[in-house]
Amino acid sequence: MIEEHCHVGALCIDGLLVYSIQEGSMNTDDYENFIEHVLYLQDICNEKGVILEFLPAYSLDFNPIEQTFFYIKNYLRQNKIWAESMQDPLDILDFSCITIEKKLAYACYQHGGYIL
């Protein structure tokens, strides 16, 4: 079942930069492993001259990733029959994450009040 999975992601204006999906809840070690991947990407970005801007302290109303997760949940609800026909829930979640493209990511930032 999809409800038994957890996902976390890093959103950029081009879509989900990186995300992780796992069965069950995410514990501290899982989250730290995800952050290590994000920091690795940050190093690559720094080497290429890409500037990363991190958002202020967490706020549900102003965090674009929350709007992104809302979209993913809504996408799964709208495609419930298809999703239930899939063998592996991770495939369903993975596919729904890759549907987050530039236009939608941009809208999520705007919804949070960020001017790009």
Residue 12 lies in a domain: yes
Residue 69 lies in a domain: yes
Residue 116 lies in a domain: no
Residue 43 lies in a domain: yes
Residue 30 lies in a domain: yes
How many percent of the chain have pLDDT more than 70?
94
Residue 75 lies in a domain: yes
Tally of CA atoms within 13 A in the half-sphere of 87 that contains its CB? 0
pLDDT at res. 2 = 54
User: Which CA distances in Å does 52 have to 2, 44, 93?
Assistant: 32, 11, 26
**Residue 3: pLDDT above 70?**
no
Total domains, the chain: 1
Give the pLDDT confidence of 33-79 residue by residue, as tens digits: 888 888 888 888 889 888 777 776 667 778 888 889 889 889 888 98
Range of 76's domain? 2-111
pTM for the model = 0.71
Residue 16 lies in a domain: yes
Residue 71 lies in a domain: yes
User: Which CA distances in Å does 51 have to 22, 45, 54, 67, 82?
Assistant: 29, 7, 10, 23, 39
